[in-house]
Structure 1
Amino acid sequence: MSLLLRRFVNEANNSRFLLQRFFGTVKPNPIAPSGRRTTTEFDNLIYEAGNSGDFESVRRLLNSRVVHACFNTTATFKFLTNTASYASSLEDLRRILPHTDAGYTRKHAYETLIARLCKLGRIDDALILIGDMVNGRFGLASCTFHPIINALTKKNKIEEAWVVVESMRSHSIPVDVTSYNYFLTSHCYDGDVAETSKVLKKMEEEGCSPDTRTYDALVLGACKSGNVEAAMVILRRMEGEGLPVLYATHAHVIGEMMECGYYALAVEFVMAYAGKDKRLDEENMGSLASKLIKRKRFKEAKLVLKEMCVRGLRMGIALRDFYETKCAKIDD
């Protein structure tokens, strides 16, 4: 028994050493009581501390949560809002973040705060934090810039987004496929083929291979341009390269087929993919059936709903009600 006990103690000490090595020195948390913590509990404690202006406790909680494997979330800095206290709260955060535990803890805290600032539309302040990370050498990476590029491209501030990309390059940060995907999605959503081609050319020149979201954007672009055939070609190429297809990618195609009045083709498209992924079948067939009913294409809707029933797929309440009360009245 004593041998097992000594082994347990040694393993516990080794685990603590590894935590310290990757996440910094483990420090006691004076606010949260001892015992197992959850991510939500840490978020709530940080919210209370930030709201009350106790930023020293915010710092300690940011350190403690990583040690407890309760990593930061989109709610971690929820106390920071566009109110009168915004400026002072941000300055307090800029003051305490450099004093969080070095390594992952500090880097992730900065990245989480940058994402929060982008959600609030405070892009300039997010860029100031980037400067803080550069000055402190806190481990900039491509993902640090993603929320900023995403926010700018969503607002169609493309030129400003490219300035951020140049800033990445100036700090020797690689422009990865995710960064390019934000530009592609913006251009494809607008159906801007010329700009989409330019981004693809940049990716090719830099040896950046397309991923699932790249193809999703291209399928979206084809659909926005009203070119279902091109969307299908892109989808087949994606599958040929062995990339997983997002549910949203299928939704783009189904939506455009419905807009073009290709009802039979939409049913054929959905049936062709049936049986490979139950969740995808539920999404595709449920969405298609709803769209068909909305357009009063009841015969096609009945066909899809019967297929869902045969396959034991989950239906929403409205679809289930339609199937049970009205399908029997529809002539085959």
Structure 2
Amino acid sequence: MSLLRRRLAKQSVNSRILFQILADRSFSTVKFPPGRRSTTEFDQLIYKAGSSGDFETVRRLLTSRVAHGCFNTSDTFKFLTNTASYSSALEDLRRVLPQIDGRFTRKNAYDILIARLCKLGRVEDALIVIGDMSSGRFSLTPSTFHPILCALARKNKIEEGWRVVESMRSNSIPVDITSYNYFLTSHCYDGDVEEASEVMRKIEKDGISPDARSYDALVLGVCRAGKVEAAMAMLRRMEEDGVNVLYSTHAHVIAGIVEEGYYALGVEFVLAYAGRDLRLDAESFGSLAGKLMKKKRFEEAKIVLKEMVMRGLRMGDDIEGIL
């Protein structure tokens, strides 16, 4: 038994020596730090390796970080920027990513790269990377497409977005509610209730249940369209149906009420929901007070601020001085 222990101990020592040799090989521009490693450390090491063009080290770091419980972040590919070296860096990443060990590790790296490309405004390149994943059968999922749909929706490139949706379907990737919500939010932000309704019909046709974000977008849309009464009715319906109401949904209604000049109704609205959720109270009362002051409706603002004092709600310095 003691002989077995000595053998295992020797193998363990040899493994550590081998790992150190691999880490210190001359082709690597990055030295692995001793001891436990953090997510930030890995991001910094990848930044250094990617910036120096050492993409074999980038690959090894991407492979080993997940084994250490350090998953990729939005900073993982920060070295990839809109500079003269962008094209060559992207090509090198496309070369080494398929060589990453581990199905989950490889997919996660691809997903983070696509998100980075979209942040840089390189949607076409993100779609090329999607093509790499498809041809390599590297586990395409709806979340892989989310950054692309989000980027296109924000730029109001709706038709291009729907073409991406068709691409998802052609790859047998289900279109989830998050994917639809990007279109819904884009239309509702513009107050285009008719187009938003069309998206809702597609959601229903696919047999998908709207979520809190879907309803939040719809409330925003009717408020932007000047239909505050409809927004308040929708909010009540959400509560009756047991839908989780986001804080932002209340904020949309408050903004719509004030914008339409229903100042007294705004006060009634926040009072009607007061006492249920302390954070909601702080945000709703504070938001209404600030908007009323911008409209120079100081009397209504004083009522709201007095309620905040009575309820022990914190108020900003910009609105406290009115009392």
State TM-score, norm by structure 1: 0.86
Identify the residue that residue 229 of structure 1 maps to in structure 2. Answer: 229
The alpha carbon displacement at 1:273 in A equals 1.6
1:112-123 → structure 2 map (5 Å cutoff): 112-123=112-123
Identify the residue that residue 197 of structure 1 maps to in structure 2. Answer: 197
Post-superposition CA distance 1:3-43 (Å, at most 9, x none): xxxxxxxxxxxxxxxxxxxxxxxx88933313232222222
Cα distance between partner residues in 1 of 2:125 and 2:231? 39
Cα distance between partner residues in 1 of 2:274 and 2:70? 39
The alpha carbon displacement at 1:177 in A equals 0.5
Post-superposition CA distance 1:141-187 (Å, at most 9, x none): 01111111111111111111111000000111101111111111111
Alpha carbons 2:63, 2:102 under 8 Å: kept? no
Any unmatched runs of 5+ in structure 1? 1-26, 328-332
1:109 aligns with 2:109: yes
Cα distance between partner residues in 2 of 1:39 and 1:272? 45
The alpha carbon displacement at 1:52 in A equals 1.2
Identify the residue that residue 89 of structure 2 maps to in structure 1. Answer: 89
1:43 aligns with 2:43: yes
The alpha carbon displacement at 1:80 in A equals 0.7
Cα distance between partner residues in 2 of 1:47 and 1:101? 20
Cα distance between partner residues in 2 of 1:188 and 1:319? 30
Q: SS state of the match for residue 139, structure 2?
A: coil
Letter in 1 for 2:201: K
Letter in 2 for 1:199: V
Letter in 2 for 1:221: G
Letter in 1 for 2:239: E
Identify the residue that residue 290 of structure 1 maps to in structure 2. Answer: 290
Cα distance between partner residues in 2 of 1:241 and 1:44? 47
Cα distance between partner residues in 2 of 1:47 and 1:245? 40
1:180-219 → structure 2 map (5 Å cutoff): 180-219=180-219
Shifted more, 46-55 versus 115-124: the winner is 46-55
Question: Identity percentage over the alignment?
Answer: 69
Q: SS state of the match for residue 144, structure 2?
A: helix
State TM-score, norm by structure 2: 0.88
The alpha carbon displacement at 1:311 in A equals 2.1
Letter in 2 for 1:130: I
Cα distance between partner residues in 2 of 1:147 and 1:308? 39
Any unmatched runs of 5+ in structure 2? 1-18, 24-30
1:62 aligns with 2:59: no
The alpha carbon displacement at 1:123 in A equals 0.8
Letter in 1 for 2:48: E
Distance change (3 Å), C-alpha of 1:39 and 1:241: farther
Q: SS state of the match for residue 102, structure 2?
A: coil
Cα distance between partner residues in 1 of 2:79 and 2:218? 38
1:5-84 → structure 2 map (5 Å cutoff): 30=23, 31-84=31-84
Cα distance between partner residues in 2 of 1:210 and 1:80? 36
The size of the alignment, in residue pairs, is 298
Distance change (3 Å), C-alpha of 1:290 and 1:79: same
Identify the residue that residue 20 of structure 1 maps to in structure 2. Answer: none
Cα distance between partner residues in 2 of 1:306 and 1:35? 56
Letter in 1 for 2:117: L
Letter in 2 for 1:191: G
1:264-283 → structure 2 map (5 Å cutoff): 264-283=264-283
The alpha carbon displacement at 1:230 in A equals 0.8
Identify the residue that residue 176 of structure 1 maps to in structure 2. Answer: 176
Identify the residue that residue 220 of structure 1 maps to in structure 2. Answer: 220
Cα distance between partner residues in 1 of 2:265 and 2:178? 32
The alpha carbon displacement at 1:226 in A equals 0.1
* Structure 1 runs of 4+ with >6 Å offset: none
Post-superposition CA distance 1:192-231 (Å, at most 9, x none): 2222121111111110110001001100110110000111
Letter in 2 for 1:267: V
Cα distance between partner residues in 1 of 2:66 and 2:317? 42
Identify the residue that residue 130 of structure 1 maps to in structure 2. Answer: 130
Q: SS state of the match for residue 169, structure 1?
A: helix
Cα distance between partner residues in 2 of 1:288 and 1:58? 50
Cα distance between partner residues in 2 of 1:32 and 1:270? 55
